[in-house]
Amino acid sequence: MKFFVDTADTGAIVELRDLGMVDGVTTNPSLIMKSGRDMLAVIAEICEIVDGPVSAEVVALRADDMIAEGRKLAEIAPNIAVKVPLTWDGLKACRVLTGEGRMVNVTLCFSPNQALLAAKAGASFISPFIGRLDDIHLDGMDLIQDIREIYDNYAFQTQILAASIRSPNHVAECARIGADVITAPPEVIRSLANHPLTEKGIAGFLADWEKTGQKIL
């Protein structure tokens, strides 16, 4: 499973890249606002940091405007994935941009039917939002499972990019079900290494080592 990091914090991206934990990056207008930087400048920098897809989101609502914005964003670097919302206009934009050979990430997916439409429109990635479904007392993992089954039934090439990841359990379940990609904030990716028994084991080993009076260096 590929790991995308969901941030516009270039320092965090570099840290995770150097550990081999970044296969791509996703951004959105909220993350750009949080960075306090110019959108085009920060996305260009991210594209230089990572070789994999970097999702840059359009803000227009009409298909023609989305297409124009998508083309502008795609000029930043060859690894740009234009991010469009899962609306009818977004699907129209996806079809055109995909036809021009551009990667497209269709975002804000909340149902299997939406995911089916995105695949039919040629999306490179579909982004189902797990956490936001959990917020309204639905199981976001059910959606990942449904999309996986549908895509496998018809050999769709659209990759399932599980988004709105909020916990290590989300990551593990996505891996179990077979999501192609997860995108998560840096802190969630870092937290995958944590387990209380690991910490307990280290403390025990160090306590015993101290009693030996030995040193390695």
CB 19 within 8 A of CB 5: no
Taken in order 28, 29, 32, 37, is the CA torsion positive or negative?
A: positive
Q: How does residue 65 score in pLDDT terms, banded at 50, 70 and 90?
A: very high
Q: What is the pLDDT of residue 28?
A: 93
Q: What is the pLDDT of residue 47?
A: 98
Q: What is the pLDDT of residue 21?
A: 96
Whether 215 is catalytic is: no
pTM of the model: 0.95
Q: Which residues pair with 5 in a beta bridge?
A: 25, 184
Q: What is the pLDDT of residue 101?
A: 98
Count of alpha carbons within 13 Å of 123, Cβ hemisphere only? Answer: 30
Q: Kindly list the structural domains of the chain, giving each domain's residue range(s) and its CATH number in brackets, ordered by start.
A: 2-212 (3.20.20.70)
Over residues 70-120, the pLDDT tens digits come to 999 999 999 999 999 999 999 999 999 999 999 999 999 999 999 999 999
Q: What is the pLDDT of residue 207?
A: 95
Q: What is the pLDDT of residue 175?
A: 98
Q: Give percent of the chain above pLDDT 90.
A: 100
Mean pLDDT in residue range 160-171: 97
Q: What is the pLDDT of residue 8?
A: 96
Catalytic residue (one of 2, 83, 200, 211): 83
